[in-house]
Structure 1
Amino acid sequence: MTSALPDVARHEASDIALALDWVGMRGIAIPLVLGGPEAAPAAATAELAVDLPDPHAKGIHMSRLYRLLGAFAQHGKLSPGSLQRLLREMMESHTDCGSRAARIGLEFHLLQQRPALRTPGLAGWKSYPVSVQAMHRDGITQVELAVRIQYSSTCPCSAALSRQAVRNAFAEHFGDAPGITRGDALDWISGHASLATPHSQRSEAEIRIRLSPAADTLPLLAMIDCAEMALATPVQTAVKRADEQAFAQLNGANLMYVEDAARRLRQALEQHFGACSVAVSHHESLHPHDAVASCATPGWKRMG
């Protein structure tokens, strides 16, 4: 029956003879099975495309790509290796269009349970936005993994100004009074040590690494743990007072500008994964704008 239906993409030529870099689809909903310790289904959206080097070809066959993606989601486990195979299948499905390159992008959230800092048995769930980009061109496959992580950042300058304000208030209160006892000092601290507090804010880092196309898993948890350990102040889930106090202490021990956070992350990621790219944003509580910083390993180029 379908043989009698017109196939414009196959039988008609383009009115304008121009090759196209990429043609495909975006926003396709698919389920994904993650490999490794994160082996659980995830709801994802996919973007996929092939090049169209034939200037006379009317268009690609999008249904072919859609069916390949569906088979991949149904029978495959997400890994660099499985993505490499899918990219090759996408190109092979368009040999009649002369396609020599293919790309795919996946976005989903990784849900992980995280324990409280102090309270035994207390835990909550955190959602980490994940992006996977893969491209095959000129016989080379590249796979890039990106994760966004939220953390708390306390301004070093604001902390120094707050400490000075507390010191000045202490000196003004006691003046030159002799014989200040330990109890007097502790009582004053209990009531006045927070008369000036440094500003802190929820912050976000987007970290990217490259993976071997032959790898059979995505190192998602290792990547997240590496970044959160480097920052030392990841946002918390379930907390009681002891956990909140511990979090405040971590912030006090890890004062950081946006520059500090970017450097910490790059250093840690390079040690564990090699080349990387980092972009951080501190959503300022002092200003109505954000502070941002980015850095990358020398020679790093965004996939495109």
Structure 2
Amino acid sequence: MSAVLPDVSVTDIAPTLGPLEWVGMQGIDLPVTIDEPGYHRELHAKADVQVDLPAPQVKGIHMSRLYRLLDSWGQEAHISPMHVHTLLSSMVDSHHDCDSRSARLRLDFDLLIRRPALVTEGLSGWKSYPVQLNASLVDDEFTLSVECTVDYSSTCPCSAALSRQLIEESFLQSFSKQPLVDPATVASWLRVNASLATPHSQRSEAHVCVSVERTSPNLGLLSLIEAVESALGTPVQTAVKRADEQAFAALNGQNLMFVEDAARRIRVALAGYNNPKVHVRHLESLHPHDAAAWSTPFEQSSHHER
């Protein structure tokens, strides 16, 4: 067929006139490559792309142009701030006939990292870190932020103190009439009774967001995750044997923390980052509700809703 196909988005005028803040697509499947020191991997992402539509009479934008730009962009190179800026500029340029001046991008993907066991040599497993990238180019002003969720374990300091008190009382009841107790007897008693009471602990999550400069060579995801996990000291494990579980128990005992402690630790660790925001949540085993803390105001899905 040689007939020209109609394009009502170009030939027709919008029946109701008015500008629109954003128009585009959400949830596009896309392979992306993350390349950072010590890490190179292609991952599956979900992408949202939009441009503004300030011209009140334009019926619709060119969705296929955005899709093709995103598709080519995903295959060209690893994701970097400059790479993201190039995509947003191309999106704006592709819609000059719509008077578009702004564009934005959101990527959601899971960063897979292989983690070694704490003690057992040669043992390791995969851990997933949910990541969200938000970028915009509004009137030539470029902004880029990355958000990441890091799981960790938290043991309650109050519960630990209460547990120690019960063990202390039990010990005194058992040996109050003995002026001297030899170490072997104490060790034997502890082996049986040291878990008379145990503090509650739970899987917890830290959600952090930082701004990334356009001139940065990469997104800095691995260094961000390492900073958070090092600050907390109790990252959740993958493959474990008994020796690793014991080492993990020791880490929890050495890093007792309220949700407030966790938020403050991370805030200090991210002091060198631009616009750091922290939200921590302890999925309580004591309560049917969670404990949470923010180091700065943090709005869930602050860029745009899926």
TM range (shorter): over 0.9
| Residues 231-242 of structure 1 aligned to structure 2 (within 5 Å) | 231-242=232-243
Structure 2 partner of 1:130: 131
1:167 to partner: Cα distance: 0.6
CA drift of 1:138 comes to: 2.1
**Number of the residue aligned with 1:13:** 13
**Cα distance, 1:162–1:3 mapped onto 2, change above 3 Å:** farther
Residue 72 of structure 1 corresponds to 73
Shift of 1:256: 0.6
Residue 169 of structure 2 aligns to a residue whose secondary structure is helix
Aligned to 1:23: 23
Q: Supply the AA of the counterpart residue of 2:231.
A: A
Equivalent in the alignment of 2:281: 281
TM-score (norm 2): 0.94
1:196: Cα distance to partner?
0.3
Offset, 1:3: 6.4
2:63 counterpart residue number:
62
Structure 1 residues 201 and 131: alpha-carbon distance in aligned structure 2, compared to 1, 3 A threshold? same
CA distance in 1 between counterparts of 2:274 and 2:83 reads 22
Mapping of residues 1-304 of structure 1, within 5 Å: 4-37=4-37, 38-271=39-272, 273-296=273-296, 303=303
Q: After TM superposition, give the deviation of residue 296 of structure 1 in Å.
A: 2.8
Alignment CA distance shift 1:60-1:240 (3 Å): same
Q: Deviations over 1:200-222 (max 9, x none)?
A: 00001111111111223121111
| CA distances 1:155-202 after superposition (whole Å, capped 9, x unpaired) | 011001000111111111222322222222111111001010000000
> What number of residue pairs does the alignment pair up?
300
1:276–1:297 CA contact under 8 A, matched in 2: no
Q: Deviations over 1:131-165 (max 9, x none)?
A: 11110012210110111110000001100100011
Q: Give, as a single letter, the amino acid of the residue that structure 2 aligns with 1:278.
A: V
Q: Secondary structure at the match of 2:217?
A: coil
Tell me which moved more, 74-83 or 189-198: 74-83
CA distance in 1, matches of 2:6, 2:252: 65
Contact in 2 for aligned 1:35/1:216 (Cα 8 Å): no
Separation of aligned partners in 2, 1:293 and 1:177: 47
Measured after TM superposition, the shift of residue 297 of structure 1 is 8.6
- Matched position secondary structure for 1:238: coil
TM-score normalised by the chain length of structure 1? 0.95
Runs of 4+ in 1 over 3 A off after TM superposition: none
Q: Which runs of 5+ in 2 are unaligned?
A: none
SS of 2:143's equivalent in the other structure is strand
C-alpha distance after superposition, 1:253-276 (max 9, x if no partner) = 1111111111111110113x2320
Partners in 2 of 1:256 and 1:290 — Cα distance? 14
The share of aligned pairs that are identical, in percent, is 50
Q: Aligned partner of 2:24: which letter?
A: G
How far apart in 1 are the matches of 2:213 and 2:35?
Answer: 15
User: What are the ranges of 5 or more consecutive residues in structure 1 without an aligned counterpart?
Assistant: none
Comparing 41-50 with 168-177, greater Cα deviation is found at 168-177
RMSD over aligned Cα atoms:
1.6
> SS of the residue aligned with 2:295?
strand
Deviation at 1:105, TM superposition (A): 0.4
CA distance in structure 2 between the aligned counterparts of 1:3 and 1:95, rounded to whole angstroms: 26
